[in-house]
Amino acid sequence: MKAKPSFIAPLDPDFQPAVWASRNYVAAAKTTGQAVPLVLGLERENGLISRFETMVFSHPDAATLRYVERTVKFLLWARGGWNIYVGGPKAIGEFIRKTYSARGARAFDCGLMTAAYGKQFQVVVTTPGKVPASREMEVAAGGHLKGCRIGFDLGASDYKISAVINGEAIFTEETPWDPKNQSNPEYHYHHISAGLHRAAAHLPRVDAIGGSSAGVIVDNEIRVASLLRAIAKNNFPKAAGIFKRIQKEWNVPALVMNDGDVTALAGALSLHKKGMLGLAMGSSQAAGFMNRRGRITGWLNELAFAPVDFNPKAAVDEWSGDRGVGALYFSQQAVNKLLPAAKISLPAKMGLPERLKEVQSLMTQGDGRAAKIYETIGIYLGYSLAHYADFYDFRDGLILGRVTTGEGGDIVLAKAREVLKTEFPELAAKIALHVPDEKARRIGQAVAAASLPELKK
């Protein structure tokens, strides 16, 4: 790769694309002849193992430790796991063990992985040959259109409900809510339940319920979710079981999945494609992956926490405390982050959704400051898609969410395509980027979610 990126983000000139930094590091290690193998293995539920192989300098310096730590961080949030095998130089393994510990810099990540998988997080330092072999899973999900169904999609600022008959939405609505600041889980339950009843009023019967929600969801149970951040630990089990409570009350097949995977499913259904990476830019960043066989892998795909910027002075994510992670580059938070550099001043008490609307309004007025925000996000996206391609085998990318709505979204996609074509022509030739139409952008997720459960035979 080039010594410097060809594209400089106009409102974030210090942006250091993770793909540029990572590929340059590996190339340098190989060129010197001092490179040695590094094999990372991430173990998650039921003994499933994801492996990642790379090359590093045999004598780890600061650049090596940063490259490995950022790679581990990306893999952890892309694929998930409670146990990391680090097969390579012992000094690297010990550094990762110290960093990813209850007292280390990545204590947040360790805690959430422990909560997600129900096992104490740990790092095993070993040699490349002793990292367990890959053991992945593939499951078919979604695409069940027959019958009268309800689908919902839970976001941080609103939730969407659709009533669907044989794959066609006959009723949809979006309702504002504020789940992340509510400490009583009954707030969450009553909002969802009321929406389901409003949708059911438009159906002759309800055969199945499917849902899409931010967070880690296992067997219809919420393990980790920003929507439940205000709920006390002793009250969390009640909140975590909301979907099972709903399933019992309605007594129909019900299935709720991570919103990112439902994004990928929505893309696959609308485009009749496989090998789909879905990215939703809403209140945060959601991501999902369907492999080239049309199956869901069970990976975590929480790319909101995955690093895309190696700038050591990048903005800090207020929840995880880490710098340069996806939520601050592909969401309403990204728009808000760029406002000062764009010299756009908005009231301090204005919420993120309202701030985005103001920027969208400025775009319709031809305001060049707003255009620079979208151009910056487009450069972020182009480089980050190339980085994602180093970890995901996809041929189609579905880009959606409120940030991509309107003229600004057109700029984001155009700039991302330009970055790919110029910097990564081999990827540009095989990866197609898609955006749904305006209606599908806003409600397609709920309709796709409705197709998740199979009907009882």
199 and 79, same domain (yes or no)? no
Tens digit of pLDDT for each residue in 319-341?
899 999 999 999 999 999 999 99
User: If DSSP codes are grouped into helix, strand and coil, which group holds residue 427?
Assistant: helix
- The two tokens of residue 340 are 């000062």
Q: Tell me: pLDDT of 442 over 50.
A: no
The answer to whether residue 22 is domain-embedded is no
Residue 181 gets which letter from DSSP? G
Q: How open is the CA angle 228-106-229, to the nearest 5 degrees? A: 10
End-to-end CA distance of the chain: 55
Q: Tell me: pLDDT of 169 over 60.
A: yes
Q: How open is the CA angle 300-279-208, to the nearest 5 degrees? A: 70
Residue 457 CA to residue 447 CA, distance in Å, equals: 22
301 and 449, same domain (yes or no)? yes
68 and 214, same domain (yes or no)? no
The answer to whether residue 299 is domain-embedded is yes
Q: Tell me: pLDDT of 182 over 80.
A: yes
365 and 452, same domain (yes or no)? yes
- The two tokens of residue 51 are 């492996």
The answer to whether residue 26 is domain-embedded is no
Closest alpha carbon to 17 in 28, 35, 1, 30: 1
Residue 135 CA to residue 307 CA, distance in Å, equals: 25
Looking at 85, 108, 130, the residue that finishes a domain is: 130
112 and 154, same domain (yes or no)? no
Q: How open is the CA angle 423-424-426, to the nearest 5 degrees? A: 150
User: Is residue 169 within 8 Å of residue 162, measured between CB atoms?
Assistant: yes
> What is the rounded average pLDDT of the residues 6-12?
97
- The two tokens of residue 173 are 């609505």
User: Is residue 330 within 8 Å of residue 285, measured between CB atoms?
Assistant: yes
User: Is residue 40 within 8 Å of residue 76, measured between CB atoms?
Assistant: no
- The two tokens of residue 240 are 């975590």
Look over the chain and give the mean of its residue pLDDT values, rounded to a whole number: 92
Residues 6+ apart with CB under 8 A from 287: 260, 263, 277, 278, 279, 280, 301, 302, 303, 304, 326
Q: How open is the CA angle 141-243-176, to the nearest 5 degrees? A: 100
The answer to whether residue 355 is domain-embedded is yes
Per-residue confidence (pLDDT) for residue 155, from 0 to 100: 85
| Model confidence band, residue 286 (pLDDT cutoffs 50, 70, 90) | confident
| Model confidence band, residue 265 (pLDDT cutoffs 50, 70, 90) | confident
Looking at 104, 130, 156, the residue that finishes a domain is: 130
User: Is residue 138 within 8 Å of residue 293, measured between CB atoms?
Assistant: yes
- The two tokens of residue 7 are 């594209």
Tens digit of pLDDT for each residue in 266-278?
777 777 788 999 8
152 and 108, same domain (yes or no)? no
Q: Tell me: pLDDT of 440 over 70.
A: no
| Model confidence band, residue 1 (pLDDT cutoffs 50, 70, 90) | low
Residue 183 CA to residue 186 CA, distance in Å, equals: 9
Q: Tell me: pLDDT of 423 over 90.
A: yes
| CA-to-CA dists, residue 450 to 143, 168, 176, 437, 445, angstroms | 9, 10, 20, 19, 9
The answer to whether residue 13 is domain-embedded is no
Closest alpha carbon to 355 in 337, 378, 374: 337
Closest alpha carbon to 125 in 165, 90, 160, 81: 90
User: Is residue 155 within 8 Å of residue 282, measured between CB atoms?
Assistant: yes
Q: Are strands 158-165 and 168-176 parallel, antiparallel or unpaired?
A: antiparallel
User: Is residue 52 within 8 Å of residue 71, measured between CB atoms?
Assistant: yes
Per-residue confidence (pLDDT) for residue 438, from 0 to 100: 53
Hey, what amino acid is at 247?
A: Q
> What is the rounded average pLDDT of the residues 404-413?
94
The neighbour count for residue 454, using CB atoms within 10 Å, is 15
Tens digit of pLDDT for each residue in 97-146?
999 999 999 999 999 999 889 899 999 999 999 999 999 988 777 788 89
> What is the rounded average pLDDT of the residues 69-73?
98
Range of the domain at 167: 139-457
Order of strands across the sheet that contains 122-126 = 49-57, 35-43, 83-87, 122-126
Per-residue confidence (pLDDT) for residue 178, from 0 to 100: 92
- Per DSSP, helices labelled H in 120-163 are none
| CA-to-CA dists, residue 352 to 167, 215, 347, 387, angstroms | 33, 20, 11, 27
245 and 374, same domain (yes or no)? yes
Q: Tell me: pLDDT of 69 over 70.
A: yes
Sign, CA dihedral 22-26-31-34, equals positive
- Number of domain units in the chain: 2
> What is the rounded average pLDDT of the residues 2-6?
80
CATH number of domain containing 262: 3.30.420.40
- The two tokens of residue 89 are 């130089």
Identify the residue whose tokens are 């929507």.
Answer: 227
Which residues partner with 138 through β-bridges?
A: none
Taking only Cα atoms into account, the Rg of the chain, rounded to an integer number of angstroms, comes to: 22
The answer to whether residue 101 is domain-embedded is yes
The answer to whether residue 211 is domain-embedded is yes
Q: 3-state DSSP helix/strand/coil percent for the chain, to nearest 5?
A: 45, 20, 35
346 and 436, same domain (yes or no)? yes
169 and 88, same domain (yes or no)? no
| Model confidence band, residue 2 (pLDDT cutoffs 50, 70, 90) | low
66 and 146, same domain (yes or no)? no
Task: Please tell me the pTM assigned to this model.
Answer: 0.86
Q: Tell me: pLDDT of 162 over 90.
A: yes
Q: Tell me: pLDDT of 41 over 80.
A: yes
The answer to whether residue 29 is domain-embedded is no
User: If DSSP codes are grouped into helix, strand and coil, which group holds residue 113?
Assistant: helix
151 and 263, same domain (yes or no)? yes
Residue 195 CA to residue 174 CA, distance in Å, equals: 9
Looking at 66, 95, 130, the residue that finishes a domain is: 130
71 and 212, same domain (yes or no)? no
